[in-house]
Structure 1
Amino acid sequence: MPIRLTIPTPVGSFDAITAGPADGRPVLLLHGFPQAAISWEHQVEALGARGFRAVAPDTRGYSARVRPQEPAAYGVSELVGDVLAIADELGWDRFDLVGHDWGGAVAWWTAARHPERLRTLTAVSTPHPTAWEEAKRTDEEQRRRSLYQQDWRDPGTENRFLANDAEMLRRMFQGKIPADHVEEYVRRLSEPGALSAALNYYRADRPDQEVGKVEVPTLYVWSTGDVAIGSTAAFATGSWVSRAYSFRKIEDATHWIPEEIPEVLTSLLLDHLDGR
């Protein structure tokens, strides 16, 4: 099983889980909303067993000691800076980066801005940010799928998520992930200020978010049952990667790929890493 780890950085200490030998090939895994590092539990354990050094942090807003309350603290530069600060503290000059949901967005931004630091990129669910923005402009279906992003900027969102024993928060997962993970997410996001910090990923204004082509070998995994991300952005993502690119479409799975079908994703991830 993964063990707990604390990673001190200039902005505060990140909580994390890790597995594998200290000198193993480094892999950093970033979770999304409304989850935590344990969403990668299966992958971290499997990577560690294969000799990789896998680390999955509770990211900014989710780690109690890195939880700024102002949305401005969740800009692209701040989130990418966290990735590099964590890697620097771990002593990693180059590493493999994996991200799901918001972690996927941060992973794309990091790959675009600092390709020299990455050996490979794996993005799960989240398409290339520019492909996604273009789909929102040109595809009516994607615009409808993305309406929640504006809704969650509303100041009443916290109350809606946590009302009636966090009914709305629980319903998001569609019964597709382990029940103990759901309970842990509800517990964490019920802490004072925690849900507001997590929602700041949606509330931040990001004028510096333009993303060009990514020059890192990339695996993109998308599921046809994803309610947030349609096929337009998913199929367009490959045109935004200038190095080796692999696209894996998974039929019928929902947005919660790392926890819903962990064995499938782990197999795809290991194949991608072994090929590089």
Structure 2
Amino acid sequence: MEQTTARDMTFEVERGGEGPPVVLLHGFPETAASWRTVAGLLHDAGYSTYAPNQRGYSPEARPEGVEAYTMDTLADDVLALADAWGLDRFHLVGHDWGAAVAWKLTALHPERVETLTAVSVPHLAAYGWALAHDADQQRRASYIGLFRDGQRAEELLLEDDARRLIAMFEGRVPADLVGEHLAALREPGALTAALNWYRAMTPETDLPAVRVPTTYVWSTDDQALGRAGAERCGDHVDADYRFVELEGISHWIPEEAPGELAEVIVDRIAG
């Protein structure tokens, strides 16, 4: 794994391929390894990929304090990394929290993003609406209260050899990848840093519409994200928009359906 210095921190990065650049942002409780199969397929299709272990996940990019993990800060990290890689413009793909960061970055800096493929998490204003108005989404998001609890979350998630973190993957992610994700989160301070993304989160209901070509990918077996927010996502894209629904796939789309996702990304870039 390569290393890139940005904002006085050092980020681990999985890089590969040749061709137009695609930046891949992972979610929780995952690492850049979640993109490995998708990245390989993108290389075969003629693209280069950059998949960082984001703030808190890279050992040398793990500041203390909730205030270091705001959405603006996380989006600025990606811009700083792109600058370090020499990328003026790039195609952007994000899953879960990586999708949230991607929506934020694209809405505020459309001049940097060629296309957006957001996976699982819809535009943050659509998600915020669903959290406020849809009982199904409120139920699905009940785990966030635990993750924001700085007294109990780390202990509960790591006890019994991290059985609760393992259970989150529902048996849908290969065991070797789960092991790789959890090895990173067991490093000193890593799980707290990752949970600080939740603890720093604020409503983003006023986030502007995205103005670049966008595909949103949602899966019907997603335990965390319901249909209400997914179907409102397109209301917040002022550009060519596609909604792709994957039947029978869980939340863990990059690992469970890498072939389908890579095809969607290539279609968006080419389209």
Bin for the TM-score computed over the shorter chain? over 0.9
**CA contact 1:122–1:220 (8 Å) conserved in 2:** yes
Corresponding residue for residue 165 of structure 2: 169
**2:254 and 2:20 mapped to 1: Cα distance?**
21
**1:175 and 1:207 mapped to 2: Cα distance?**
31
SS in 1 for 2:248: coil
**CA contact 1:131–1:240 (8 Å) conserved in 2:** yes
Corresponding residue for residue 245 of structure 1: 241
Corresponding residue for residue 82 of structure 1: 77
Matched residue count: 270
Pair 224,93 (structure 1): closer, same or farther in 2 beyond 3 Å: same
SS in 1 for 2:221: coil
Corresponding residue for residue 11 of structure 2: 14
**1:209 and 1:114 mapped to 2: Cα distance?**
17
Alpha-carbon shift at residue 252 of structure 1 (Å) = 1.3
**CA contact 1:224–1:253 (8 Å) conserved in 2:** yes
Residue 47 (1) aligns with residue 37 (2): no
1:27 to 17, 22, 31: 22
Which structure 1 segments of 5+ residues have no match?
Answer: none
Alpha-carbon shift at residue 93 of structure 1 (Å) = 0.5
**CA contact 1:122–1:218 (8 Å) conserved in 2:** yes
1:61 to 52, 56, 61: 56
**2:109 and 2:205 mapped to 1: Cα distance?**
14
Residue 117 (1) aligns with residue 112 (2): yes
**1:129 and 1:183 mapped to 2: Cα distance?**
30
**CA contact 2:33–2:180 (8 Å) conserved in 1:** no
Which structure 2 segments of 5+ residues have no match?
Answer: none
Map of 1:1-276 to 2, 5 A cutoff?
4-21=1-18, 24-155=19-150, 156-206=152-202, 210-275=206-271
Alpha-carbon shift at residue 185 of structure 1 (Å) = 1.4
Alpha-carbon shift at residue 273 of structure 1 (Å) = 1.2
**2:163 and 2:94 mapped to 1: Cα distance?**
26
**CA contact 1:5–1:16 (8 Å) conserved in 2:** yes
Give CA-to-partner distance per residue, 1:64-123, whole Å, 9 cap, x none: 110112111111221111010010000000000000000000000000000000000000
SS in 2 for 1:215: coil
Tell me which amino acid in the other structure corresponds to 1:228. Answer: A
Tell me which amino acid in the other structure corresponds to 1:45. Answer: G
**CA contact 2:34–2:255 (8 Å) conserved in 1:** yes
**CA contact 1:72–1:205 (8 Å) conserved in 2:** no
Alpha-carbon shift at residue 43 of structure 1 (Å) = 1.4
**CA contact 1:222–1:248 (8 Å) conserved in 2:** yes
**2:46 and 2:147 mapped to 1: Cα distance?**
40
Name the Cα RMSD after superposition. Answer: 1.2
Pair 208,238 (structure 1): closer, same or farther in 2 beyond 3 Å: closer
**1:187 and 1:105 mapped to 2: Cα distance?**
24
SS in 2 for 1:224: strand
Tell me which amino acid in the other structure corresponds to 1:126. Answer: V
**CA contact 2:11–2:58 (8 Å) conserved in 1:** yes
Alpha-carbon shift at residue 207 of structure 1 (Å) = 6.9
SS in 1 for 2:218: strand
TM-score of the pair, normalised by structure 1 = 0.95
Kindly, what percent of the aligned residue pairs are identical? 46
**CA contact 1:76–1:209 (8 Å) conserved in 2:** no
Alpha-carbon shift at residue 205 of structure 1 (Å) = 4.6
